[in-house]
Amino acid sequence: MNNFYQNNFLKLSDFSKEDIYKLIRISKKLKYDKKNSKEKKKLSNKNIILIFEKNSTRTRCSFEIACFDQGAHVTFLSIKDSHMIYKESLKDSARILGQMYDGIQYRGNYQKDIEIIAKYAGVPVWNGLTNEFHPTQILADLLTITEFLENKKLDQIKISYIGDINNNISFSLIEAAIIIGFKLYLISPKKIKSNNIYYQNIIRKIKNIENIHITKNISEGIKNTDFIYTDIWISMGVTESLQMWEKKIEELYNYQVNKSLLLKSKNKNVKVMHCLPALHLYEHYKYLLNKDIISKYNLYNGIEITDEIFESNYSIIFKQAKNKIHTIKAIIISTLLKELY
Ligand code: CP
Ligand code: NVA
């Protein structure tokens, strides 16, 4: 029996290095099979529900395509159109939906909520993003990274994550670095927050780990790196206002991914990553941000990443997005099927 069968996928630290490598291998096979029209539908008798409390483009579409490719039936449920959380407790909703469906994807605010759903659903629950973690994203990122490795193994690379180091991407990356052992530099003028139990556990762990470094020194964090990763400076679920944006920009404008930052890597093969959505195009973000803020910090070429770098050959951003289909499919198949191949 495969060891993922009937398990949840809530956060990376629930898995071993061997588990993560295995999921990457399964994703690669699924990607190959799809590309070569060899995919077999193994989930044709399965019903899957995708519950969203927050917006999504890539994760929702990847789950839907993964299910359709495998013949599963999908229900999309937006929390605001349902009774969940407001008139019905998560515990009740989980017990109801767990009887109807074979698997549940949840994207919501709090990790503790998805843990409640997983406790009561009785079927596999997959984390499509919470404030604390975004494990399906990082699995797709790891697959993408393996596709660009030259003369190094996954556990030998250096990843430099720059910008907002207190979000779901940075914390899932930290979990991945703890498990896999690659070097991770988190570059920001801010310290790591310890405002909840999940973060506290991680901070406790990384105190004794040599491969994870937190620094505000950009040169130190970027030098000889293989992959530069950034994310939007204000995540979903954080109260967004123009004042908040001004505060973030004031903190982080020196930590933008741009040409001069890439030069500091001294690696002409460095690759740039972003989970998306990204604020790189002035014509787009001028409607979101106050023009005075943009002008004050001269951010006409991008916020967390410049358009030049986003669109350059250094960027593997669109590969990351596409790979979500394959890794999410690997997670669904591995947790729903007793025997894999
Ligand atoms: N990267 C990612 O999770 O994108 P969505 O928010 O569009 O799902
Ligand atoms: N940190 C971002 C990731 C989006 C995929 C957010 O939570 O909004």
Residue 238 pLDDT exceeds 90:
no
Topology of the domain covering 149-315: Rossmann fold (3.40.50)
Identical fold, 12-134+323-336 and 149-315 = yes
d(CA 60, CA 245): 27
CA 321-117-54 angle, to 5 degrees, is 40
Average pLDDT score over residue span 123-149: 98
Angle between helices 17-35 and 168-180 (to 10 degrees): 110
Mean pLDDT, residues 67-79 taken together: 98
| 12-134+323-336 under CATH 3.40.50.1370, yes or no | yes
* pLDDT score of 1 more than 90: no
Q: Is 114 in the pocket of ligand 2 (CB under 6 A)?
A: no
The conformation of residue 244, written as its DSSP 8-state character, comes to H
Alpha carbon of 237 to ligand 2 centroid (Å):
9
* Ligand 2 pocket member 167 (CB < 6 A): yes
pLDDT in tens, 206-228: 998 999 999 999 999 999 999 99
**Most ligand 1 atoms within 8 A of CB, residue of 137, 317, 319, 320 to mutate:** 137
Atom of ligand 1 nearest to the CA of 54: 6
164: CA distance to ligand 1 center in Å? Answer: 16
The full set of domain ranges for the chain reads 12-134+323-336, 149-315
**Residue ranges lining ligand 1, Cβ < 6 Å:** 56-59, 129, 137, 275-276
- Residue owning the nearest CA to atom 4 of ligand 1: 58
Which ligand 2 atom minimizes the distance to the CA of 164?
1
Provide the whole-model pTM: 0.98
